[in-house]
């Protein structure tokens, strides 16, 4: 059983070596010893969010950090993988944009909503305390979200909450003041494929593609 599933990946890698890599050889050659991504992309670990697919990007474009619930932990004495990655992206890679992207049907916010099923996952439960801020930034219910409107409004609220946490990161705040970094909050809808962007002036999400 497990063997079969691994076989799919091995076959995929063989196809990559035979059909994809040769055509991009010069690009990979350029990227082999350096990277200069313009975008830091912070999103959920969810398998249905495929940044390069929905944005038309490829190797060298997006510097990505992912975790359950696309969280940016509020700075504590502790170091964590997310904020360390953000610091590196801003200070060393000097990305021009930081994008915080949540998505529909997010399991992290679902768990926050029903608060069940986390008994056997002490680490996940502690991690999800980081999405508490979503409640105070919940967005207006959108009829287009149908029966999932309540969850979707909480997920959008989480994007707003994490965006604030992102801006509060010292490296991000500094780069913002110096005018070399812009931050964005997105909501990606798996069903429609559409991205919405948080408009800070209007305090609501609007279609990214118009």
Residues noted as catalytic = 44, 46, 48, 103, 106
Q: Compute the CA torsion angle 115, 117, 120, 123 (nearest 10 deg).
A: -40
**Do the strands 204-207 and 182-188 form a parallel or antiparallel pair, or are they unpaired?**
unpaired
Near Zn ion in 26-45, by CB under 5 A: 44
Near Zn ion in 95-124, by CB under 5 A: 106
Using CA atoms, how far residue 118 sits from 103, 124, 140, in Å, is: 21, 7, 28
Cβ proximity to Zn ion: between 93 and 190 the closer is 190
Cβ proximity to Zn ion: between 106 and 159 the closer is 106
Window 60-99: contact mask with Zn ion (x via CB under 5 A): ----------------------------------------
On whether the CB atoms of residues 92 and 148 are closer than 8 A, the answer is no
On whether the CB atoms of residues 192 and 107 are closer than 8 A, the answer is no
To which residue do tokens 């999400």 refer? Answer: 205
Give min distance, CB of 69 to Zn ion, in A: 6
**Do the strands 62-67 and 97-103 form a parallel or antiparallel pair, or are they unpaired?**
unpaired
Give min distance, CB of 64 to Zn ion, in A: 14
**Is residue 154 within a helix (H) or strand (E), and if so which, with residue range?**
helix 149-168
Give min distance, CB of 20 to Zn ion, in A: 28
- State yes or no: residue 196 binds Zn ion (CB under 5 A): no
Cβ proximity to Zn ion: between 63 and 188 the closer is 188
- State yes or no: residue 181 binds Zn ion (CB under 5 A): no
Task: Considering only the stretches 7-15, 16-24, 46-54, 139-147, report the one whose residues sit in contact with Zn ion under the rule CB under 5 A.
Answer: 46-54
Rounded CA-CA distance 32/16 in Å is 17
Number of residues that bind Zn ion (CB under 5 A): 3
Cβ proximity to Zn ion: between 60 and 107 the closer is 107
Rounded CA-CA distance 108/131 in Å is 8
Rounded CA-CA distance 205/83 in Å is 25
- State yes or no: residue 46 binds Zn ion (CB under 5 A): yes
Cβ proximity to Zn ion: between 44 and 90 the closer is 44
Give min distance, CB of 190 to Zn ion, in A: 10
For 63, phi then psi, to 5°, come to -95, 115
Give min distance, CB of 205 to Zn ion, in A: 17
On whether the CB atoms of residues 79 and 125 are closer than 8 A, the answer is no
Footprint on this chain of Zn ion (rule: CB under 5 A): 44, 46, 106
């Amino acid at each position: 059983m497990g063997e079969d599933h691994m076989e799919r990946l091995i076959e995929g890698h063989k196809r990559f070596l035979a059909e994809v890599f040769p055509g991009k050889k010069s690009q990979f050659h350029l990227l082999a010893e350096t990277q200069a991504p313009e975008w830091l992309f912070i999103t959920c670990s969810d398998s249905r969010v495929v940044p390069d697919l929905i944005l038309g990007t490829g190797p060298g474009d997006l510097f990505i950090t992912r975790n359950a619930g696309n969280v940016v932990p509020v700075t504590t004495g502790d170091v964590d993988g997310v904020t360390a990655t953000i610091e590196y992206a801003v200070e060393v890679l000097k990305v021009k944009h930081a994008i915080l992207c949540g998505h529909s049907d997010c399991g992290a916010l679902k768990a926050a909503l029903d608060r069940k099923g986390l008994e056997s996952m002490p680490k996940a439960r502690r991690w999800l305390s980081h999405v508490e801020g979503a409640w105070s930034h919940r967005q207006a219910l959108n009829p287009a979200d149908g029966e999932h409107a309540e969850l979707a409004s909480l997920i959008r609220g989480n994007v707003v909450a994490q965006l604030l946490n992102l801006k509060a990161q010292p490296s991000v705040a500094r780069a913002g003041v110096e005018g070399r970094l812009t931050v964005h909050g997105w909501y990606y809808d798996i069903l429609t494929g559409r991205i919405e962007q948080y408009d800070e002036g209007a305090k609501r999400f609007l279609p990214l593609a118009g």
